[in-house]
Amino acid sequence: MASSSSSRSDQDRPGLGVGLCEGEEEYGSESGWVEARSSCDHLCSLSPDLSHIPAPQNTPCYECQHPSENWLCLSCKEVLCSRFVNKHMLSHSRRTNHCVALSFSDLSVWCFSCDAYLDAQLIPQLRPVYQLAYILKFGQPPPLPQHN
């Protein structure tokens, strides 16, 4: 469960989140490196149909029509802008409790409730939508993940 209060504002925190999960640390917060999580308790909220998504290029924010820095809600598939534009995805997450979203900019996946990036190539429920978004954006399948 997400913390309801934080010692720092959303603008000071990495990503788009609203607080860390209970007892969790920000991985790499001192160095700027953020380690993506390999699991998330909020994946049950994903849309059952993520095999049909809007194209990452040129899909504007549903609310302000801004053309870039947009995120795809993985619960309802609305496309909304990032906190660096007009914060519509952040507002949507807070209003609807839809907490998992995919960035059309870099194809990262963020959980607003956990305040963490999720490893979309490692988490089985996220892999298909990540692969589809990659193909739609780059015209070819993503490279296989490198496991060290």
pLDDT tens-digit series, residues 43-86 = 999 999 999 999 998 899 999 999 999 999 999 999 999 999 99
C-alpha radius of gyration, the chain, whole number: 15
Between CA 77 and CA 84, with CA 80 as vertex, the angle to 5 degrees is: 145
Q: Which residue has the higher pLDDT, 27 or 67?
A: 67
Give the pLDDT band of residue 32 (cuts 50, 70, 90). low
Write out pLDDT tens, residues 134-144.
999 999 999 97
Residue ranges of domains in the chain, CATH in brackets: 60-138 (3.30.40.10)
**pLDDT tens digit sequence for 75-129:** 999 999 999 999 999 999 999 999 999 999 999 999 999 999 999 999 999 999 9
pLDDT greater than 60 at residue 15: no
List, as one string, the DSSP characters of the chain. -B-S--SS-GGGSSTT-S-PBTT---TTTTTT--PPBS--TTGGGS-S--SS---STT---TTT---SSEEEETTT--EEE-TTTT-HHHHHHHHH---EEEETTT--EEETTTTEEE-TTTSTTTHHHHHHHHHHHHSSPPPPPP--
Task: Give residue 58's pLDDT.
Answer: 84
The model's confidence at residue 11, banded by pLDDT at 50, 70 and 90, is: very low
- pLDDT at residue 22 is higher than 70: no
Q: Answer whether residue 6 shows pLDDT above 50.
A: no
HSE-CB for 20 with a 13 A CA cutoff: 13
Q: Which residues pair with 110 in a beta bridge?
A: 101, 117
